[in-house]
Chain A
């Protein structure tokens, strides 16, 4: 299953998803109200220490910010030049704290638990005719399509390389998309042949005669 979730038995894992999301929201608002370097630094250290509860290798998950490093350096330089160095440090502290804290929620909360926590927020959509089970179906199908499309892209890339490659690799986008659309048409037909997307409560016998 493709997810960032890390399976452990930590105290963070045991907290309900809704609570973790709430703490994250409150912290993100509070961090922008904090103006002191020392408080921001203390919060950051607390977040870093919390990663330790993911086990001895917990701190390695802090590398999640690696792809952002060039961006951080750029922002830091621009910010300390246009405002002040302390303003730049404060901003960096805040940003790191939030990214790591949010990531910690992601690492310690299973995707389905997260979805269950969010689902009640989607239930008003029922009034405009969107049933939650149809949302769940679309999410599941999306998650299933991802590896399939990645495999299609990989096979196209390999065929491209074996034909000699070249720079116009963007051309692969066309067969890729046509392949994908054909595949989705087949899924639509298969779905129709099985009576369409139905809610878990509807018995099969009722669907067949619609």
Chain B
């Protein structure tokens, strides 16, 4: 792997951390919606599947080592015992799938490719992890787990649209920065 890839992976991992700084918006249920998954979707769409995956693995790994980089200053091993652990563990795979789908769709406009990629990776795949994690940690039934996790969906849908818009704008300014648009 080239040095450039290492730098890019570090950059997107740091982007996810910086997005955690944006104060979470408390949603109807009292469950805060954070901007961090926006970074996860962007990592996949911008870096492509493999680098996106490794970059998010780096983020999750450093959080596990004790860096308070999740939104609200959370971090450390305790995160992986909390009800939303599944989402955090799912970050790398979500980025992988988002990048893969966006690359498959590179014939389409970037708005569509990035949007669908972010939706499949950042919502479908991430929620499978989120729900399995929730069920694992709390021991709830499947239906309950799905119901509880559903409160996050509206906020995450907004982030899918944002990912598409941001990817499109960055592609106009710096076409070389979108790895799923080359080859």
Contact B140 A75 (CB under 8 A): yes
Q: Are B140 and A4 in contact (CB under 8 A)?
A: no
Complex CA gap A91/B173 in Å reads: 50
Contact of B6 among A98, A99, A141, A174 (CB under 8 A): A141
CB neighbours (8 Å) of B66 from chain A are 3-5, 106, 109, 111, 114
- Check B82 against A149 for contact (C-beta < 8 Å): no
Query: A130 CA to B54 CA in the complex, in Å?
Result: 12
The contact string, 1 if C-beta is below 8 Å from chain A, for chain B 150-171, is 0000000000001001100110
User: A28-B81, A146-B14, A177-B42 in contact; A191/B3 too (CB < 8 A)?
Assistant: yes
Residue B124 at the A interface, CB < 8 A?
A: no
- Bound form: Cα–Cα A141–B14 in Å: 9
Chain A nearest Cβ from B77, distance in angstroms:
4
Kindly state the separation between the CA atoms of A152 and B162 in the bound complex, as whole angstroms: 19
A105 to B66, CA, bound (A): 9
* A142 and B59 within 8 A (CB): yes
Q: A134-B6, A146-B17 are in contact. Are A82 and B144 (CB under 8 A)?
A: yes
Per-residue contact bits, chain A 130-156, to B (CB 8 Å; 1 contact, 0 not): 100010011101110110111011100
Contact B77 A173 (CB under 8 A): no
Give Cα distance in the complex from A187 to B80, angstroms: 33
Which of B30-38, B89-97, B104-112, B114-122 binds A?
B30-38
Say whether A191 contacts B7, CB under 8 Å.
yes
- Cα–Cα distance between A188 and B14 once the two chains are bound (Å): 16
12 contacts between A and B (CB under 8 A): A64-B74, A74-B148, A95-B82, A139-B10, A139-B58, A139-B62, A145-B10, A149-B15, A177-B46, A177-B166, A178-B174, A191-B3
CB contacts (< 8 Å) of A139 on chain B: these are: 10, 58, 61-62
Query: Which has the most chain B C-beta neighbours within 10 Å: A106, A118, A187?
Result: A106
Q: Please list the residues of chain A having a beta carbon within 8 angstroms of any beta carbon in chain B.
A: 2-5, 24, 28, 64, 67-68, 70-72, 74-75, 78-79, 82, 87, 91, 95, 98-103, 105-107, 109, 111, 114-115, 118, 129-130, 134, 137-139, 141-143, 145-146, 148-150, 152-154, 170, 173-174, 176-178, 180-184, 187-188, 191-192, 196-197
Q: Which residues from B are CB-within-8-Å of A109?
A: 66
Contacts of A130 in B (CB 8 A): 1
- Of A24, A142, A143, A150, chain B has the most CB atoms within 10 Å of the CB of A142
Complex CA distance for A79 and B135, rounded to whole angstroms = 11
Contact partners of B144 in chain A: CB under 8 A = 78-79, 82
Task: Select from chain B the residue with minimum beta-carbon distance to A112.
Answer: B65
Q: Are B76 and A103 in contact (CB under 8 A)?
A: yes
* Chain B min CB distance to A24 (Å): 7
Query: Are B78 and A64 in touch, CB under 8 angstroms?
Result: yes
